[in-house]
Amino acid sequence: MKISKLLVLGALTSSLFLSACSGGVETSATVPDTAATITTTTTEETTTSEDTASESPAEEKTMVLKIAGTEIPVTWEDNASVKELKELAANGLTISMSMYGGFEQVGSIGQRITSSDKQTTTSTGDIVLYSSSQIVLFYGSNSWSYTRLGKIDLPDDKVKELLSQGDVTITLELN
């Protein structure tokens, strides 16, 4: 008798566990030696795209780079660093750049942002994040550990003309 009660209890417990996993389906279990019927109903919560699609205004807009007030075409990477940079650019971000090494312009963005540095060999037009807090625009090449942010979409000679003549000021803003 004790074994049959254990079997009934085991069957009852199993049916409860199975009904919890059924995802919105009503299930019933009748245990033979008892007159009890157990009915459980589970429901699944569903979310709509309206519930989860609350994008910030910065994600809906395009980030624009200006060098000395001139808008420069850029293809931006799709990564966390660029998303955070866009948030900073929402109010307009002006950065004083300095020539360095004869191949790049470097400027502080004023705070640290997410980075995922990888050993990289840059080329003319590359835009990278260095040390989580500095933006670097290349008019030459270098090999170091950077997070890629984007690429200036101009011929190399135009990029060199814009960046190799002395320190520049850049502005990042959203359109």
pLDDT of res. 28: 39
pLDDT at 50 over 80: no
Instruction: Read off the pLDDT of residues 54-92 as tens digits, 9 standing for 90 and up.
Output: 455 556 799 999 999 999 999 999 999 999 999 999 999
Radius of gyration of the chain (CA): 30
Choose between 34 and 143: higher pLDDT. Answer: 143
pLDDT of res. 6: 44
Looking at 4-18, 125-139, 151-165, which range is the least confident one? 4-18
Instruction: Read off the pLDDT of residues 95-147 as tens digits, 9 standing for 90 and up.
Output: 999 999 999 999 999 999 999 999 999 999 999 999 999 999 999 999 999 99
pLDDT of res. 36: 38
Q: Is 132 left (phi over 0), alpha (psi -120 to 50) or beta?
A: left
| Domains of the chain with bracketed CATH | 2-45 (no CATH), 60-174 (2.40.100.20)
Closest CA to 73 of 148, 152, 128: 152
